[in-house]
Amino acid sequence: MSCIRFNTPAQKEQLENLRSHSDTDAVAAFLSPAISESKIRRIEAMARDDHPKIRESAALSYHAPEAVYHALAQDSDEGVRQCLARNPHTPCEVLRQLASDPSEKVRAFVAINYNVPEDAMEALSGDPSETVQALVSWKASLREDQPVGV
């Protein structure tokens, strides 16, 4: 099962437009530096830091090793788990786990993450929180079968 899906035709079109740009295009010219081993080690160290705000930074990282995402899903701090649920690079398995988090806010962030697996969305549709249910319904209304601008 793929974790990637498009919720609106506009999102799909935007991605296709990015792919059509040549390497000489200004968008393609702005590339981040390669991810080094030292950067990975810093993210791992941040994930183990005593201060929750530092762990939140690790949870928001696009380049964390998968083990870091899994470890942060168990973090005692709700803010860390919220950041993890918001991160579009969080692995599907971790999003599935966070979909049953005790925190309503964490589950709400999972519901609006565009990469959450369909089975986790189905589970969230029956969430006891009206807020989470409303976010699931809102997100479902954005699906690509809806005409743009409706």
CB 90 within 8 A of CB 76: no
Spacing of C-alpha 94 from chain mean position: 10
**pTM of the full predicted structure?**
0.75
pLDDT band for 56, please (50, 70, 90 cuts).
very high
**Would you state the pLDDT for residue 18?**
62
How confident is the model at residue 1, as a pLDDT? Answer: 47
Q: Are 85 and 91 in contact (CB under 8 A)?
A: no
**What is the C-alpha separation between 144 and 58, in angstroms, rounded?**
32
In the predicted model, is pLDDT for residue 62 greater than 90? yes
pLDDT-wise least confident of 35-39, 66-70, 83-87, 132-136: 35-39
